[in-house]
Amino acid sequence: MELRHLHSFLALAEELHFGRAADRVGIAQPPLSRHIQQLEAEIGSPLFERGPRSVTLTRAGREFLDRVRPHVEGITQAVHASRSAGNGLSGRLTVGYVSNLSYQLLPTVLSQLKASAPDVILDLHEMPTLAQVPALRAGEISLALLVLPIDELGMMQRRLFQDPLVVVMPADHDLAQKSVISLAELCRYPFIACPRYEKTSFQNVIIERCHEAGYEPNVIHEVTGKTLMYELIAHGIGISVVPRSSSQGHREGVVYRPLAEMLRPIDVGAVWRKEDEDPLRRLFVNTAAAAALEIYGAKTAAVA
């Protein structure tokens, strides 16, 4: 018993008109008639009474309709769900991300996925870069959005965008009137820093560049939360250097200025286990790459 025959039967049973039923299943009327005849031959009983101007269900047809409809609908739903899962259009994905991405990139990605794949369920976890790597290795997350590069065997990497560094300071700061600021000009101001995460922290880059400019930055506070960092800056306690994407989460009382030095920007990207070729993960990464191109004008690249 073929599924296409059952679809033709359901269409005719509900439309009670060969022409409308054929249009509904997307075939011509003669093939639909053959489907019904073949189904009746297989069952061994007529399912319809055909009149010159009408079609009605026989008693056998009504009984068959009541019993077969839920099964056909279930099979149809199962086929749709399988195709959606195969295309990455349904399922659940657990994603770790660094906090800067919550301002613009992630909302854009989630909005686009809601439109293109409304059945996708995302579990999102804000995590620093170094916490995401072991979580990814342990299978606690399926995808990591973090600072690249990651020196980890068995992982795939794709750069999403490059994030330039900017100075953040109180709105009434001495340097706030300048359009561009050099690192040398920051030597006499207190710094508020994030902890120096080995190999992945842009803060180390800033400290190294300050050394090249001939001074040791005066780090008076190290904080792990950006909310507290911005509050301290807004209250005039210090300044900091942050990725430009942080400026998208605007806090009143602070301003951002680009650096005069051509420092290498931070690479932000997606990392996943090499053996994990989940279509949903692929859909998320491709959507994130398209969103990064739209927001940052970034060209992305896959990295082994």
17-37 burial string, b = 16+ CB within 10 Å, else e?
bbeebbebbebeeeebbebbe
pLDDT tens by residue, 91-146: 889 999 988 898 889 999 999 988 887 888 899 999 888 889 999 999 999 999 99
pLDDT tens by residue, 146-159: 988 888 888 999 99
- Segments making up each domain of the chain, as ranges: 3-86, 91-162+266-303, 165-258
Q: Which CATH superfamily is domain 91-162+266-303 in?
A: Periplasmic binding protein-like II (3.40.190.10)
Q: In 3-state terms, what secondary structure has residue 161?
A: strand
Check residue 103 and give its pLDDT: 85
Strands 90-97 and 119-126: parallel
Same fold: 91-162+266-303 with 165-258: yes
Fold of 165-258: D-Maltodextrin-Binding Protein; domain 2 (3.40.190)
Average pLDDT over residues 226-236: 89
How many other C-beta atoms lie within 10 A of the C-beta of residue 262?
A: 7
DSSP for 51-99, written as a single string:
-SS-EEE-HHHHHHHHHHHHHHHHHHHHHHHHHHHHTTSEEEEEEEE-G
Check residue 237 and give its pLDDT: 94
Q: What is the reported pTM?
A: 0.64
Check residue 82 and give its pLDDT: 52
Check residue 203 and give its pLDDT: 67
pLDDT tens by residue, 258-286: 988 777 778 899 999 988 778 889 899 99
Q: Contact at 8 Å (CB) between 278 and 142? A: yes
What's the CA gap between 187 and 232, in Å, rounded?
19
Fold of 3-86: Arc Repressor Mutant, subunit A (1.10.10)
pLDDT tens by residue, 182-204: 888 888 899 988 764 444 456 66
Q: In 3-state terms, what secondary structure has residue 6?
A: helix
Average pLDDT over residues 68-83: 67
Q: Contact at 8 Å (CB) between 96 and 132? A: yes
Residue 86 pLDDT > 60: no
Check residue 124 and give its pLDDT: 95
In 3D, which of 194, 195, 192 has the Cα closest to residue 168? 192
Radius of gyration in angstroms for the set of CA atoms belonging to the chain, rounded to a whole number: 30
CB < 8 Å & 24+ apart, contacts of 104-110? 104/245, 104/248, 104/295, 105/160, 105/161, 105/245, 105/288, 105/291, 105/292, 105/295, 106/145, 108/291, 108/294, 108/295, 109/284, 109/287, 109/288, 109/291
